[in-house]
Amino acid sequence: MNEGFNVLVAGAGYAGAVAARALADRGKRVLVLERRPHIGGNAYDRLDGAGVLIHQYGPHIFHTNDRRVFDWLSRFTRWRDYEHRVVADLPDGKGGRMTFPVPFNLTSLETAYGPERGRALGDKLMAAYGAERKVTILELRQSEDPEIRQVADYVYEHVFVHYTMKQWGQTPEEIDPNTTARVPVFLSRDDRYFQDTYQGMPLEGYTPMFERMLDHPGITVELSTDALDRLDLSGEALKVDGAPFAGPVIYTGQADELFAFRFGPLPYRTLDFRFETLERDDFQGYGTVNYTVDRDYTRITEFKHLTGQVKPGVTTIVEEYSRAYTGAEGEIPYYAIINLDNNALYAKYKAEADKFPNLHLLGRLAEYKYYNMDAIAGRALDLAEKL
């Protein structure tokens, strides 16, 4: 490795890029190795063939309550005010289709049950749990009140069970309860997907934000470069390019892959994205529509609504199809499958990593967690401070 560097970062997504910049700002010289031909990790965006700004790895909406993270990222981008709104699209039981807001809220209740009965049920739920409260579907299903239980069953059937089966191949009871808790039943008229204080989209996109973040005299980025070809963890001391390296190594890829899957592969879900460009101004009127009951895909996102790009006569959408990650060439592990067994397997890899005092696992893959962008950015800033 080039003698001039004192920190090595594997991966140029949120974890790697934020850590690299925060360390470079403190005077470190950082080498970033990224396997893909671009920076930004799964938040990478680009113009497609029709000139529409798309998110290549699925829709990314920034939201946080963490002022420190928001201010820090704001050094590298201005923001477009954007509050994500999602509707469920499902059969109405009469041969047609219906839509209502997700998270399921007081408005959804009135669509599902009619205005009068819906309002009465809403009042009942608010009396039981409190107005403006968020209640998880699993919590709601535990109610002993028959009417509340009936609503819970309705929401379970029409919002959660089929979508969750598509996304995870398992029911809401079988997966980590924190996952469905991300999208609670909301006893409110607020139909935003997120309630965070800071929400928006980088004004020119995520990739330009990452370009500015990594544009620092102390940072060198090598694209299309696999850190596993440069790192050697076979001995007692960590080596880079064949020579012992004592500086911090921040690894943001898969923990199992880092140790050649020696305890077996960590399970993940992957996604197939089907992009389509249509010759019209608008396809669905919303950033994202969730298909909560039928269809093979989980959701459709129309990027122009997210990005605010003005582009008459053309729009690009993406359908997301979820399936088990097999590790085949070109597949990307998008979601850790969090449960006791998998966490225990992960702990074995983490213990291996901990044998190297200068090796740090950071990020959604490396930590085997369901982290949003802001959480990763926060963890990267914390690590940089600690180092």
What CA–CA distance (Å, rounded) separates 208 from 367?
Answer: 26
Residue 160 binds to ligand UDP (criterion: CB under 6 A): yes
Choose among ligand FAD, ligand UDP, none what residue 159 binds, the Cβ cut-off being 5 to 8 Å by kind: ligand UDP
Choose among ligand FAD, ligand UDP, none what residue 16 binds, the Cβ cut-off being 5 to 8 Å by kind: ligand FAD
Q: Which of 20, 266, 373, 383: binder of ligand FAD (CB under 6 A)?
A: 373
Choose among ligand UDP, ligand FAD, none what residue 160 binds, the Cβ cut-off being 5 to 8 Å by kind: ligand UDP
For residue 299, which phi and psi values (nearest 5 degrees)? -155, 160
Hey, is 128 helix, strand or coil? helix
Tokens of 202: 């980088």
Binding mask 267-306 for ligand FAD (x = CB under 6 A): ----x-----------------------------------
Name the minimum Å distance from CB 327 to ligand UDP: 21
What CA–CA distance (Å, rounded) separates 46 from 203?
Answer: 13
Choose among ligand UDP, ligand FAD, none what residue 247 binds, the Cβ cut-off being 5 to 8 Å by kind: none
Q: Which of 172, 359, 371, 383: binder of ligand FAD (CB under 6 A)?
A: 371
Which residues are paired to 102 by β-bridges?
86
Hey, is 80 helix, strand or coil? strand
Residue 372 binds to ligand FAD (criterion: CB under 6 A): yes
Tokens of 309: 């790009």
What CA–CA distance (Å, rounded) separates 177 from 198?
Answer: 25
For residue 186, which phi and psi values (nearest 5 degrees)? -115, 115
Residues within window 255-314 making contact with ligand UDP, judged by CB under 6 A: 290, 292
CA 315, 319, 320, 323 torsion-angle sign:
negative
Candidate segments 16-24, 30-38, 109-117, 161-169, binder of ligand UDP by CB under 6 A: 161-169
Residue 102 binds to ligand UDP (criterion: CB under 6 A): yes
Residue 159 binds to ligand UDP (criterion: CB under 6 A): yes
For residue 284, which phi and psi values (nearest 5 degrees)? -135, 0
CB 253 within 8 A of CB 227: yes
Residues within window 170-189 making contact with ligand UDP, judged by CB under 6 A: 179-180, 182-183
Contacts of residue 215, Cβ cutoff 8 Å, sequence gap at least 6: none
Q: Which of 172, 184, 253, 378: binder of ligand FAD (CB under 6 A)?
A: 253
Candidate segments 30-38, 67-75, 145-153, 286-294, binder of ligand FAD by CB under 6 A: 30-38
Question: How is the chain split among helix, strand and coil, in percent rounded to 5?
Answer: 30, 25, 45
- Helices H / strands E in the chain, number of each: 13, 22
Q: Which of 6, 58, 128, 195: binder of ligand FAD (CB under 6 A)?
A: 58
Choose among ligand UDP, ligand FAD, none what residue 14 binds, the Cβ cut-off being 5 to 8 Å by kind: ligand FAD
Residue 265 binds to ligand FAD (criterion: CB under 6 A): no
For residue 216, which phi and psi values (nearest 5 degrees)? -150, 140
Choose among ligand FAD, ligand UDP, none what residue 238 binds, the Cβ cut-off being 5 to 8 Å by kind: none
CA 201, 207, 209, 213 torsion-angle sign:
positive
Question: Which residues bind to ligand FAD, rule: CB under 6 A?
Answer: 10-16, 33-36, 41-43, 58-61, 226-228, 252-253, 271, 334, 363-365, 371-374, 376
